[in-house]
């Protein structure tokens, strides 16, 4: 409508020079007809214009993903910003497990991992607010589903990133998509500290050091230790969330493998 108003303002300058009232009325009728035609053209083109704008926005974000139509613009922007943060990461070293999973502590390595597994984004069915992301590799290979809390929550950026990469791991075919194991009644972190949870008997833990939780844990600990351009807040948040995730490793051998991996930080 802004285009119509602007064109109308320019066209209405012409009748000022009409010779008499009849000429003026004729000019006015012609302008009204032209304005109606322009309105009809714009309305008919609106769906194509909207689709083109959305496509251009996705390209400008340069995140290599397609979005379902029901994904809000705010969610698309948030994901683009989070992945831009990931791609900006520069690290000075890497633990053996991180090299095995990603190759290096740097943005391009992380993005290649993510983009090779996640190709599209949709919105999930109503779910608990803390469930920011999910996947269904059997029904929708390559697709990540986001909850509306992905934007609405006050979760730190590094935590959202860790959750996205956790879910990306589940889109792989290995080990039944890296399915989770049943959690024990008591959860402890890698230092042996007990954590109070209600996860006992539920499938919310891993028995491998490089499953969904192990991958996120390794990624976070290496960012905490090696990221050269991360803010102090991002590094602190990485460490805090890593402490929480470490409680989900429910196998002694897997826990020891992670301890051995992180012991290389001091070398």
Dihedrals φ, ψ of 193, to 5°? -75, 135
Position 196 confidence tier, pLDDT thresholds 50, 70, 90: confident
Spatial separation of the C-alpha atoms in residues 214 and 49, rounded to whole Å? 45
Position 83 confidence tier, pLDDT thresholds 50, 70, 90: very high
Dihedrals φ, ψ of 204, to 5°? -145, 20
pLDDT, tens digit, for every residue of 27-79? 445 545 545 554 565 466 555 545 544 444 443 345 679 999 999 999 999 99
How would you list the strands of the sheet with 143-146, edge to edge? 66-67, 120-123, 143-146, 133-135
Pairing of strands 187-188, 194-195: antiparallel
Q: Which of 230, 249, 62 is nearest to 157 (CA)?
A: 230
Output b/e per residue, 88-118; b: 16+ Cβ within 10 A.
ebebeebbebbbebbebbbbebbbebbeebb
pLDDT, tens digit, for every residue of 111-145? 999 999 999 999 986 666 667 899 999 999 999 99
Output b/e per residue, 153-176; b: 16+ Cβ within 10 A.
eebbbbbbbbbbbbbbbbbeeeee
103-117, 186-200, 225-239: which has the minimum mean pLDDT? 186-200
Which residues, 6+ apart, have CB-to-CB distance to 85 below 8 Å? Answer: 157, 161
Dihedrals φ, ψ of 135, to 5°? -140, 160
Spatial separation of the C-alpha atoms in residues 182 and 200, rounded to whole Å? 7
Q: Is the pTM of this model over 0.85?
A: no
Strand partners, 123: 146
Position 13 confidence tier, pLDDT thresholds 50, 70, 90: very low
Spatial separation of the C-alpha atoms in residues 258 and 132, rounded to whole Å? 26
Q: Is the pLDDT of residue 262 over 90?
A: yes
Output b/e per residue, 235-264; b: 16+ Cβ within 10 A.
bebbeebbbbbbbbbbbeebbebbeebbee
Please state, for a pLDDT cut of 70, what percent of the chain lies above it: 73
25-29, 96-100, 242-246: which has the minimum mean pLDDT? 25-29
């Amino acid at each position: 409508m802004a285009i119509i108003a602007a064109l109308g303002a320019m066209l209405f300058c012409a009748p000022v020079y009409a010779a008499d009232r009849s000429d003026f009325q004729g000019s006015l009728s012609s302008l009204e007809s032209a304005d109606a035609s322009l309105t009809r053209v714009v309305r008919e083109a609106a769906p194509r214009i909207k689709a083109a704008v959305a496509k251009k926005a996705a390209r400008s974000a340069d995140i290599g993903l397609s979005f379902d139509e029901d994904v809000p613009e705010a969610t698309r922007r948030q994901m683009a910003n989070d992945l831009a943060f990931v791609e900006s990461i520069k690290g000075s070293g890497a633990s053996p497990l991180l090299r095995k999973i990603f190759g290096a502590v740097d943005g391009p390595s992380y993005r290649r991992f993510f983009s090779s597994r996640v190709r599209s984004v949709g919105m999930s069915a109503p779910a608990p607010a803390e469930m920011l992301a999910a996947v269904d590799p059997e029904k929708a290979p390559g697709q990540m589903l986001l909850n509306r809390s992905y934007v609405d929550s006050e979760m730190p950026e590094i935590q959202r990133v860790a959750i996205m990469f956790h879910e990306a791991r589940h889109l792989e075919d290995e080990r039944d998509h890296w399915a989770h194991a049943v959690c024990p009644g008591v959860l402890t972190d890698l230092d042996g500290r007990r954590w109070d949870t209600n996860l006992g008997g539920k499938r919310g833990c891993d028995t491998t050091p490089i499953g969904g939780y192990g991958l996120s844990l390794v990624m976070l600990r290496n960012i905490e230790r090696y990221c050269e351009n991360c803010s102090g807040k991002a590094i602190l948040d990485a460490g805090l969330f890593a402490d929480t995730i470490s409680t989900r490793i429910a196998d002694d051998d897997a826990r020891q493998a992670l301890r051995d991996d992180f012991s290389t930080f001091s070398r």
